[in-house]
Structure 1
């Protein structure tokens, strides 16, 4: 019984780690801005 609980706890830890990794491992400044189709990156 203890082994099953340890396995469930391990699986939960791996699951939480994967969720945390995908949520907080992005770029520091957010997503890059893509240039406009005409090549300019200015805002009107």
Structure 2
């Protein structure tokens, strides 16, 4: 019984670590901002 609880606790810890890693390991300055319409000169022909 103790081994099953220990394994479940390990799986839960691994799940929490994976969720934390994917949430907080992005870009240093946050998400990239998209340019607002009309302010960038890239789309002019």
TM (normalized to structure 1)? 0.69
Unmatched tracts of structure 2, length 5 or more: none
Aligned to 1:24: 24
Unmatched tracts of structure 1, length 5 or more: none
Q: Could you say what the CA RMSD is over the residues aligned between the two structures, in angstroms?
A: 2.0
Aligned length: 41
TM (normalized to structure 2)? 0.68
